[in-house]
Homo-oligomer: A and B are copies of this chain.
Amino acid sequence: MHHPQAASRDGVAQTASDILARLRARAPRVHCITNAVAQNFTANVLLASGCVPSMTLSAEEIGSFVAGAQGLLVNLGTFDRERRQATGIAVETAAAYALPWVLDPVFVDRAPPRAAFARELIGRRPSVVRLNHSEFSALADTTPSREAAVGYARARRIVVGLSGETDLVTDGERVAAITNGHPLMAKVTAMGCAGSALVAACLAVESDAFRATATALVMIGVAGELAAEKAAGPGTFAAAIVDALFSLDESSLIARAKVS
């Protein structure tokens, strides 16, 4: 049996700090095909993190936007014909430009056609798939666990970011278990979607998809902890986490990263 290697806390923390510095310095363009519920919050999370978001979906335009971007997110929430068509063009453009992309298969457990489409997309080689336990079960057809995530990642040569109380990141060879975050994060709509957009942002400045994914999840988790100190509930928390991402500095990431 193959034993994946656990990432070191200090290594992940240092990498996260480096990637954050690159986000601030390079201001990468990140194009997002995402659901209508998430668009505004996702754009604000990306802006606060130092990126330039775009969200266009129209078939005539999305090719130009993706060609000019450094990262791409495909999120399946509120999926419709327009987004499906946009995804086809975007993924093709990403392949032509060797642009890394992230798949967030929101709610694939709730509608069979969406799960089928997500499986087809995984065949088109995203760098990362980021999903929760129910979505993993529906997609991988197995109970979510560390072993299942590692096996899935290895078989498909993809990075899996499996979110839950502990976030697992694995490329089939390495595994990082991240315990940053706060319960209020589950009470704000589109928090997971915005986290996936942050993965796309980190991929824009870091070619190792495992490192990029771990960084994004540490970043949003630490921001969530900082935001919870200022918030009186999920409404003020949503604003506070954007503030926290904007102010996030390398030393906070290094001090607060919880990785094993």
Q: Which residues of A contact B (CB under 8 A)?
A: 35-41, 43-44, 47-48, 53-58, 60-61, 64-65, 68, 77-82, 107, 110-114, 187-190, 230-236, 238-244, 246-247
Name the distance in Å between A80's Cβ and chain B's nearest Cβ: 4
Name the distance in Å between A186's Cβ and chain B's nearest Cβ: 8
* A68 vs B81: C-alpha distance when bound (angstroms): 22
8 A-B contacts (beta carbon < 8 Å): A40-B189, A44-B188, A47-B188, A47-B234, A58-B78, A60-B113, A65-B110, A236-B239
Q: Which residue of B lies closest to A114 (CB)?
A: B61
Sorted from nearest, which 10 A-B pairs have the closest CB atoms?
Answer: A233-B243, A235-B242, A235-B239, A43-B189, A58-B80, A61-B111, A64-B111, A233-B246, A235-B243, A37-B39
Which of B55, B231, B246 is A35 in contact with, Cβ under 8 Å? B55
**A244 and B234 contacting across the interface, CB-CB below 8 Å:** no
**A37 and B55 contacting across the interface, CB-CB below 8 Å:** yes
Q: Which residue of B lies closest to A38 (CB)?
A: B40
Most buried by B among A110, A233, A246: A233
* A187 vs B49: C-alpha distance when bound (angstroms): 10
